Copies of this chain bind each other. A is one copy, B any other.
């Protein structure tokens, strides 16, 4: 396909076309696990007119369980013993996971890393589809999802895995680059936040901690979605709570690409947003402040954020910084994944647009 046709194809991702609405019943959705990701997915499901949040689960009657009550989400727990404990603690609960699974079409598994395998058996027995998160291995679902690049491939699948926050962030910017200019090689150094804002135990204080197994799994994970991409990564953890920041160096195959070409390309993509040091946005903390100023729920910033004036092409080398909000960037991806797997919408760009509008994500 020529570059012009490519661009035109990608523009559709940001969604000008109006196809005929697929007539469908609302998908009945469960969210298994109600932590950082689970509570956000549940809230996003509630915002969709083609989905119904049937229930969420929590193993213990914690603060988060009380949130589910407060927000009117039907709450389920693990077994009868826990059920009594919830009642004793004054937390309303509607049953156990098994009950919940009988009432839904699909479950979004947001349980802690590594227990996806055990859960998968339960879902299989109950005959429900499931979406796992990036903390699980690709092999568990056999298919890894990103809305830009693999929406079509998720149609009617039984299992899918939405890749992690860092992987999602990398795909959003590298996929269009590769489509338009061909990427010969990409390298990213990932500066990871040490802990989420409400985690009571953090990373080391006053220290930087590298991920010693190099190249790190992040690049490998990008290839579960874009197997042809020549990418490698390294990563360090730093004592901050609010965003991952990526230093990215890309070798473009196409000659003569200018900085402005790259910026225009990204500008046409959904879920990418620019900030500028010239306007005073110099740190990841200031990016989060924009999300607060925009009145986003929880101060979340689901887009991949690029410093416009920190992007530069030098011959065939592209350098840029991007920031990824670890708590929220995968949320719209989960919604799109549900939509594709449940056959609610055939067209990627329409689903992305619908999701983004419902969540207040706009350019």
Whether B63 contacts A280 by the Cβ 8 Å rule is: yes
A204 CB within 8 Å of chain B:
yes
Query: A202-B202, A247-B189, A312-B215 are known contacts. Are A283 and B208 too (CB-CB below 8 A)?
Result: yes
B203→A205 contact, CB < 8 A: yes
The number of residues on chain A lying at the interface, defined by a beta carbon within 8 Å of a beta carbon of chain B, is: 71
A308 to chain B, nearest CB (A): 9
A103 interfacial by beta-carbon distance below 8 Å = no
Do A67 and B293 touch across chains, with their CB atoms under 8 A apart? yes
For this chain, the copies found in one complex come to 4
Q: Is A39 an interface residue (CB 8 A)?
A: yes
Contact between B242 and A247, CB atoms less than 8 A apart: no
- Mark the stretch among A93-101, A295-303, A337-345 that contacts chain B: A295-303
Does residue A238 face the partner (Cβ distance < 8 Å to B)? yes
Closest 6 A/B residue pairs (Cβ):
A207-B285, A189-B189, A198-B289, A207-B283, A202-B205, A212-B310
Q: List 17 A-B contacts (CB under 8 A).
A: A187-B187, A189-B189, A189-B247, A197-B206, A197-B285, A199-B204, A200-B207, A200-B282, A203-B205, A204-B283, A206-B206, A207-B283, A212-B309, A212-B321, A238-B238, A249-B249, A292-B299
